[in-house]
Amino acid sequence: MPVNPLAADLDHVLNHTRELWNEFRGTHVFITGGTGFFGCWLLESFLWANDRLNLDAHITILTRSPASFRAKAPRLAGHETVAILEGDVRTFDFPKGEFTHIIHAATEASSKLNAENPLQMLDTILEGTRHVLNFAKACKARKFLLTSSGAVYGRQPSDITHIPEEYMGAPDALASASSYGEGKRIAEHLCALYADSSLETKIARCFAFVGPHLPLDVHFAIGNFIRDGMHGGPIIIKGDGTPHRSYLYAADLVIWLWTILLRGQSCRAYNVGSEESLSIMEVAERVSNGFRPKVQIERRGIPNLQGPVERYVPSIERAKSELELYPLVDLQHSIHKTIAWADSQY
């Protein structure tokens, strides 16, 4: 059997979640969005734990295109404990049987779809979440995890360096670009409405991430920077490089998601991300440092040092204090690991 290229990362996940997995023994888990960035990591870590701890657990993945998933990840799709269900998240036929845990990770943050068809974006989030929650009730699931987003807070005030869960701001309801953030807000509200003594609903407000399986050709800045570096540069910053972001490594991400699903409080949101705030220019420099020799950086915009700083950076005090969750892999190491993975794939 070929060596899993993510073996070290998956051991890292298992070492920090080992006490959680007994809850999955003999169970059946259902995941939407199981073929995306989050989904692949959830599936990788689930199968790794299942095999090593002899959990006798099974997992069903919902996807619009089983053939594409099998071509993209044949090792995952072909695992004996994985079942693949074809369907749209808004309309799929409920599979028979009982599923104890459900993770709703469909509807990635597609800036292209949000810009070109915001109504479809909103409909996919709302109808998809409602449909999956109805399925959770029908199959008698005990725990449900929604992967929400920091976009629910709207524009982060420049004087709040790390936005907490208690912040009551919101996206601009009259802006079409708010479809994603508003959709996630209402998806969270649906989780609150469906929660009861038989179904716990957990909410992970996810920010920005880096790691293997991250698409390098969409709107994720750090992914684009890695792609540019792999092509020899320059690393292109389309804006002025002053907005601040933070990045959590993908292996740490799934440690947080499994912990929130199993140990998080029902109807309570947890920010998921890193508190290391860096300007986009600093992020580009970190990526440049990941290559030998370093790659040139080209900034297209002119920095406005007098204006307010745009931020998208969470406070993670709640996750730390309530669930003992922390970033464990530093950003420079995360970038090196992502570059090595990308090199092995292309």
pTM of the predicted model, to two decimals? 0.96
What the block records as the tokens of 14 is 């298992």
Q: What pLDDT, in 10s, does the model give residues 245-280?
A: 999 999 999 999 999 999 999 999 999 999 999 999
pLDDT tens by residue, 113-163: 667 889 999 999 999 999 999 999 999 999 999 999 999 999 999 999 999
| pLDDT tens per residue across span 76-126 | 999 999 999 999 999 999 999 999 999 999 865 566 666 788 999 999 999
Which residue, chain included where needed, has tokens 């292309």? Answer: 346
Domain boundaries, the chain: 7-209+248-275+314-328
> What share of the chain in percent tops pLDDT 70?
97
| Cα pseudo-dihedral 161, 248, 133, 265, rounded to 10 | -70
For 7-209+248-275+314-328, CATH number?
3.40.50.720
Helices 250-263 and 37-53: crossing angle, nearest 10°?
70
Query: In the chain, which residue ranges form alpha helices assigned H by DSSP?
Result: 7-15, 37-53, 66-72, 74-77, 111-116, 118-138, 179-194, 221-230, 250-263, 280-289, 317-323, 331-345
What is the DSSP track for 239-278? S-S--EE--EEHHHHHHHHHHHHHHSPTT-EEEES----E
Q: Report pLDDT for 109.
A: 55
The DSSP-derived string for 181-239 is HHHHHHHHHHHHHH-BTTBEEEEEEE--EESTT--SSSS-HHHHHHHHHHTT-PEEESS
Q: What is the pLDDT, as a whole number, of residue 175?
A: 92
The per-residue pLDDT of the chain, averaged, comes to 94
Helix (H) or strand (E) run with residue 62 in it: strand 58-63
